Structure 1
Amino acid sequence: MASQLNTLSEVLETLTVRLLELEERLETHHQEVQSWRELAASPHPADGTDLRLDDTEERLSRVEALLQGLDEPGRRGLSPVHPCHAGPDMQPEQGPIDDPFPEDGEQPFMDDLADQLTA
């Protein structure tokens, strides 16, 4: 009977320790949730979100300016390549190349090579 009471007291002690650990974890999670709620409720987040949004807006405006600059002659930016301005090697009347690698012959498959070696 004494050994059973001893075992029961050990089980109760273990359960008590686990319950205290769970309460501590619950309190930690509760504090994290509270900090998230306060952060979400504040009009000016402290984590730099406003700065990142401003940077993103600035980048978008620069990209839009570059894209609008494509249509305006004389502005610095990217310009499309037309066939008549392609370069000295390519004539405007040339079409797409049918065989881009004319010097390369057709390569045999590995199965064909294996058949040739065994024959």
Structure 2
Amino acid sequence: MKSAHDLVEQARTGIQEISMSEAESAIQAADVLIDVREPDEFREGHIEGALNIPRGVLEFKLSGAPELSARDLHIVLYCKTSGRAALAAASLQEMGYLSVKSIAGGFDAWVAAGKPAIKPSLPSFD
């Protein structure tokens, strides 16, 4: 029986995982940057310009969004530490997407590298 870790490692063998040093240029060249974390994680902070499409609904959302259906889109994915993004990248490749990249280390590595993050502020009711 495979564990979640086994599935992630298997996915990594067939995807393009990019290093933090490649991440900014890959994001700039991407047609879409997708954060596959859950909405509450996204609200805590995310990379500017990212769409939040949680891993659990990613395939359904992309199938139902004409603007994201072109299989030649350049897509960059990330999650918290890169496991969910690796699984998502493998799934999108299976769906026929031709240019999918996953950021190694995910959002945690992005923040640790001192890269900018957006943290929406909630209104004050004081």
After TM superposition, is the score higher than 0.5? no
Q: Write 1 or 2 for the structure with the bigger share of strand.
A: 2
Q: Which has the higher contact order (CA 8 A, sep 6+)?
A: 2
> When the two structures are superposed, what TM-score results if normalisation uses the length of structure 2?
0.13
> When the two structures are superposed, what TM-score results if normalisation uses the length of structure 1?
0.14
Q: Write 1 or 2 for the structure with the bigger share of helix.
A: 1
Structure possessing the higher radius of gyration over alpha carbons: 1
